[in-house]
Every structure is written in structure tokens, then in C-alpha cells.
A and B are shown apart, each in its own frame.
Chain A
């Protein structure tokens, strides 16, 4: 085999019209803008991801709206948290994870790797896209609650809860990406459903936890979604109201946070491993 290696550095030959890059911030803004535009223009996606949660809240969240828990929290506000948690987890798993998997199976992501685009820009673009869509969903739910259900919110608690919920999109994003990188693209939606439904049920997003058998309550203790729910409800209402709502508080905020973070990091490591595995495969 003849050695054909030649190393040389040649001066860059820029075209007269070329202009230098405008910086990382501008790149990130452009990436996010394009991601949002791209998905906003796909009606089935926008309706499924952004509008559906608002409809769900209107159908199931307003039943007991206006009922006031002992310390003054509106049940409609508690239902906002329950369905909000469901929205967050579904965004992270279905939208973020599902879309990653879809793009992984098309040539587009491979093509992007031929550009100097850092992968973190790509992932950040997707996370921010989901944050934006989640915020729109939550905003729509609040509007429905106030207008149709005459729900009264404590403004400070509402803002804090919304912040927690948005943070959840980031916290659960690694679970979505881990599934996206370890499951065959065609099987992703099945697996996501298999993960998502039990998580939502066992964490009290659909039914108050005290209506579920004890075994499930024990299983719930290890689930990040349960602890995330506890955090979110705990911010929206005093502990006594959370208990009256049917999800008796257990553990401390720090403990909840630790479990959520643990899952975030664990799934993050899984994602990196899966991503590397794919890169290695493509190099072969």
C-alpha cells in the first residue's frame, strides 16, 4: 500500500462576498427560530403537541374547578399541575425523543454532521423548541381555566409552578433522547408509550395516588415522574391542600429533586453512550 498522506496547510481562499459568522448566540437563536417555524407549519404536529393538552384540560381539568381546598387552593389549579406534568413528560418523550429518533433515521442528521455545527446546538434547539411549545400549552390551559372554569390562581404560585414545569422539560429530555438512541427508530413510539403511560398513572397525573393500590405507591417512589409531580404540586399548594387533593406528600423537596436529577444524569449518560455507539457504527 503506497502512503498517500500529504500534510499541508493552505491559506483560506475566501470569496469576495463572504462574511464571518455572527457568533454562537446568533447561531442558537437561528437554530431555535427555524425549529419553531418548522414544526409550527406542520398542523398535525402542532395540534397534537400544543393544542391537545389544552383540550384535555378543558375536558378533564374543569370538572371540580371552583371547589376550594381547606387552605384556599382551587382544585382547578391542582388539575392544571396534574395535566401540566403530563404535558411536560409527553413533550420530553414524544416530541423531543420521538423527533430525535425520526431524524436519526433520515439522512438529515448525518448531513448536519458534515457541517461544523456543534451537536449541543442541535440538541439545544430541540429542547428550546419543546420549552416554547410547552409554554404555549400551559398558557392555553391557564386561559381556559380562568375564562371557562373561573379558576383563581395565586399568581406567585402559578409563576413558580410554571417555572418548575418548564424545568421538567429539560429534566425529562434525557429520558427521551436515551430512548431515541437505544431503540430502533420504528419501535420508538411503542416504547415511549410503554414508558409514558405507566409513569403518568403511577405518579398520580391522572388519578389521585390515594385511589391506587399500595403496591403502586411503592413503585412510584422510584419514579422520577412521581417526585417531579410532588415538587410541582408542592409549589402550587401548601402540603395540606396537596394531601386533600389526593396525593399525600411524602419526603422532602431535596429528596424529590435528587431523584429527578439522578434520572436526568443517568439517562444523559445513556444518551451519550448511545450517541457514541451510533457514531462508531457509522464510521465502520
Chain B
């Protein structure tokens, strides 16, 4: 699938899908393709009358009409808004549901996290990691706990599973005053698993308030993998993450390859 269709403007959506379908040894029925690309309501529109998002969907329709086993998508959602993006991944997932393999490249890491079964991270032309999103995120402390507590940093650091405990700025993002006179401080912990740490804190009768637990993002894992620190913003040109995704197919396809 290319980023711009540049298709003959005076043909209708149906005619385009019909025509391109004839080029392949096998083709999906036009009605089915239009439904999968959410173009059924625009079937009779000429290409010239389509909006940007509809053109992108036509591009997708033309990519799947030949019933390919493997679909390459090069930054497919680069020009789409949030809604269109969501709808697009739904269509891709549905197509993957037919047992197809979908390979896409993206700079948008949350998107890879959401849509991919397998992610290959490429940095400066080299594969630096290959695994599921969960495996990649497991490379770094998986959870971040932020809270206000009376436990000291020493006490927190000694709890099992805590990799680091650091104080967070008093001005606090949530505007909750942390008064040293009550012995309360705002801290951030990096932990492997959150639950045992919290259980231990509560068991020791520590005061805990304004608690949030966040999962490590793929972005953090990516920075970790490529050796960049979180202080330096990742420059997109140097870092090229690529993600491979299928709903069900990669595992099977791999099984046949090995």
C-alpha cells in the first residue's frame, strides 16, 4: 500500500476496485472489499470527490483486493486523524483475522504497541530487538508507582521488587501539598510488579495517598534499547522503529518457516 493513490480521478470507487481486482490471479468480491475498507457508502463516488481519509481507505481497498497473504503498510496512518486511525486499525485487524500477515512500519510507538503481535526495532539500520510488545516492555522495570507516603526512601528501597525509589518534586503535578511536618513525601518507585510492593506498604501500616501505577511505555523500552536517555528526545530521523503485526498469523507463518 503506497501513501498516495494518484488514481484516475474520473472512475468511481467501485470501478477502481473492480479494475485492480482483475490484475490479480485471485480477487475478493468488490462488495466485500468495499465493506472491509468502509467504503460501501461511497461506492458510486468518483475518486475526485473523495476526502483524504476516503482516499486512504481506497488505497487500502486496492491493497487487499488481490487477497494477499502478506500486506506491507508503510506508515499507513501518517496522515489520518484519531478517529480515522482507530477505524483503520480495526479494518487491518479484521483483514488479519482472515489468517493474513501484516507488516507495517511506524514512528508511532503506542500504535505499534496497540496493533502489533511482534515488533522489530531497527536503529540505524540494525535490528536491535525482535519480540512481542510485552517482551520488549519487560526489558525495563515494568511499572512506575507514584504516591505520597510517610515511608522513607530507605524503607521503600528495601521493599522486595523495588528497583529504585526517588523523591518527586514538592511542587507536585497534582497540586497536593506535601508537608514535611507530617512526614509525608511524594515519591516515585520503579518496580517489576506493583502488587506485592503495595501489599507490603499497607501491611506495615504506612500512610499512602494519591497513588498511581503506570505501565512502562513502549517508548521508554525503545529509548532503553537504542541507548538514548529519556532526557534527550528521540530524533525520528536517526531512530527507525519498524513493527510487524498480525492478529494470528505470524506465529503460524513462523512455524512453517522454521
Check A18 against B27 for contact (C-beta < 8 Å).
yes
Contact flags A1-40 to B (C-beta < 8 A → 1, else 0): 0000010101011111111111000110011001001110
A15-B67, A15-B98 are contacts. A20–B25 as well, Cβ < 8 Å?
yes
Min Cβ gap B129→A in Å is 15
B169 at the interface (CB under 8 A from A): no
Please name all residues of chain A whose beta carbon is closer than 8 Å to the beta carbon of B46 when the two chains form the complex.
41
Contact flags B52-76 to A (C-beta < 8 A → 1, else 0): 0000000000100011010000000
Check A21 against B11 for contact (C-beta < 8 Å).
no
Check A117 against B23 for contact (C-beta < 8 Å).
yes
A155 at the interface (CB under 8 A from B): no
Min Cβ gap B82→A in Å is 27
Check B24 against A13 for contact (C-beta < 8 Å).
no
Please name all residues of chain A whose beta carbon is closer than 8 Å to the beta carbon of B159 when the two chains form the complex.
none
Check A8 against B256 for contact (C-beta < 8 Å).
yes
The CB with the most chain B CB atoms within 10 A, among A13, A107, A121, is that of A13
CB < 8 Å A-B pair total: 89
Contact flags B12-43 to A (C-beta < 8 A → 1, else 0): 00010011101111111100100000000000
Interface residues of B, dominant DSSP: loop
Segment touching A, from B2-10, B108-116, B140-148, B181-189:
B2-10
A190 at the interface (CB under 8 A from B): no
Count B interface residues, CB 8 Å.
33
Q: Which residue of A lies closest to B59 (CB)?
A: A111
- State the CA gap A108–B69 with chains docked (Å): 23
B253 at the interface (CB under 8 A from A): yes
A107-B6, A108-B6, A115-B20 are contacts. A10–B253 as well, Cβ < 8 Å?
yes
Please name all residues of chain A whose beta carbon is closer than 8 Å to the beta carbon of B20 when the two chains form the complex.
115
The CB with the most chain B CB atoms within 10 A, among A8, A15, A107, is that of A15
The CB with the most chain B CB atoms within 10 A, among A16, A42, A115, A117, is that of A115
Check A114 against B2 for contact (C-beta < 8 Å).
yes
A106 at the interface (CB under 8 A from B): yes
Please name all residues of chain B whose beta carbon is closer than 8 Å to the beta carbon of A13 when the two chains form the complex.
69, 98-100, 249
B238 at the interface (CB under 8 A from A): no
Min Cβ gap A24→B in Å is 10
A6-B257, A37-B11 are contacts. A18–B22 as well, Cβ < 8 Å?
no
In the assembled complex, 20 residue pairs joining A and B whose CB atoms fall closer than 8 Å, in A order, are: A10-B69, A10-B257, A15-B28, A17-B28, A17-B32, A18-B26, A30-B22, A31-B22, A34-B18, A37-B15, A39-B10, A41-B46, A42-B10, A107-B5, A108-B6, A108-B7, A111-B2, A111-B62, A114-B2, A117-B23
Q: Which residues of B contact A (CB under 8 A)?
A: 2, 4-8, 10-11, 15, 18-20, 22-29, 32, 46, 62, 66-67, 69, 98-100, 249, 253, 256-257
Q: What are the 9 closest A-B residue pairs judged by CB atoms, nearest first?
A: A107-B6, A117-B23, A41-B10, A115-B23, A18-B67, A108-B6, A106-B6, A13-B99, A30-B22
Q: Which residues of A contact B (CB under 8 A)?
A: 6, 8, 10, 12-22, 26-27, 30-31, 34, 37-39, 41-42, 106-108, 110-112, 114-117, 121
